[in-house]
Amino acid sequence: MDLKRLDAFAKGIIFEAGKRIRESFTYDLEVETKSNANDLVTNIDRETELFFIEQIHAFDPSHKIIGEEGMGERPDSLAGVVWIIDPIDGTMNFVKQHRHFMITVGIYIDGIGKLGYIFDVMREDLFYAIAGEGAWYNDSPMRKLQPLKIEEAVIGINASWVTPNPKINHEKLIELIRTVRGTRSYGSAAMEIAFVVSGKLDGYISMRLAPWDIAGGIIIAQEVGAIATNLEGNGFDLMQSDTFIIANPSIHQLILENYIEQK
C-alpha cells in the first residue's frame, strides 16, 4: 500500500468536503434528532458522508467505510483497508455556532491505524499523522508531548459529569477540577483530541464516544506520545462505543488512578 498516495488522496477529499460544508451555510439546514433530543443530524452530515463514500469507492472499490451516518458498508471487522469517518463531529456546534466542528477520518489497514486526520472546517486547520512518520499541524511537524504536573494541566471535560450522574463518581471529578489549572469544554470530541495531541489541552475525558469520534485522533496520538485508552485503562474497541481518556503521558495514569471511579 502506497501510504503517501493514500494520504494525498485523503487530504484532497477532506479539503473538498470542508469547502462544500462551508458553502452549505448559504442554504437552509434540515436538522433532525437521532438517539435523543440533543443528538442532532443534518442533511449536510449525510451529504458529506455520501461524498466521502463515492470518492473513496471511485479511488479503490475494495476500501470499506464505517461512517457515523451508516451509509458505508459498516464491516464488522477491520480486515483490509477501512476508513472510519465522522463527516461532522460536533454537529450541535455546526448547527448553533457555525464553527468548532471537525471532519475526522482514520484509515486502518488490517486493524492497524495508518493515517489519521482531524480537520477544523471553518478555520481550515488540519491535524494529521502518518503512522511511524510523525504528525503535523498544517505544514508544521508536531512535537512530542512534554511532561507536566497535574497542577499545570488544562483538561477538556463536559460539565454534566461533574453533577450527580449514574455513570461516574462526580465528587472525584470535582477533586480533579480543583487540582488542575483549568478546564474547557468544546463540544467536539475530535477537536478536543486535536488539542491534546498538539499540547493545547493536556487531557480530555468522555463517558461515551463512538469509534468515528476518535479513530483519526488516536493515530495522531501515537505519533506525539499521547496516551488514549478507555476509562479502565484498556485500548478503545473500535467496533463499539466506549468510555475514553486521552492525556499527556505524564498524567494519564495518575488521572485514572486518583480521579476516575466508574459506577
Q: The C-alpha cell of 142 is what?
A: 508536531
Amino acid at position 177, single letter: I
User: With respect to ligand 2AM, which residue has the nearer C-beta, 150 or 236?
Assistant: 236
Q: The C-alpha cell of 116 is what?
A: 489519521
- Concatenated DSSP letters for 168-191? B-HHHHHHHHHHSSEEE--S-HHH
Among Ca ion, ligand 2AM, none, what does residue 188 contact (CB within 5–8 Å per kind)?
ligand 2AM
User: With respect to Ca ion, which residue has the nearer C-beta, 204 or 259?
Assistant: 204
Q: In the chain, count of helices (H) and strands (E)?
A: 7, 14
Near ligand 2AM by CB under 6 A: residue from 7, 49, 69, 89: 89
Site membership for ligand 2AM, residue 109 (CB under 6 A):
no
User: With respect to Ca ion, which residue has the nearer C-beta, 72 or 199?
Assistant: 72
Query: What one-character DSSP code corresponds to residue 145?
Result: P
Angle of the 211-224 helix axis to the 189-197 helix axis, nearest 10: 0
Site membership for ligand 2AM, residue 187 (CB under 6 A):
yes
Site membership for Ca ion, residue 68 (CB under 5 A):
yes
Among ligand 2AM, Ca ion, none, what does residue 187 contact (CB within 5–8 Å per kind)?
ligand 2AM
Q: Considering only CA atoms, which of 223, 229, 225 is closest in space to residue 209?
A: 229
Nearest approach, Cβ of 89 to Ca ion (angstroms)? Answer: 5
What is the CB neighbour count within 10 angstroms for residue 235? 11
Site membership for ligand 2AM, residue 229 (CB under 6 A):
no
Q: The C-alpha cell of 39 is what?
A: 443528538
Contacts with Ca ion by CB under 5 A lie at 68, 86, 88
Contacts with ligand 2AM by CB under 6 A lie at 35, 39, 68, 86, 89-91, 158, 187-189, 208-210, 213, 241
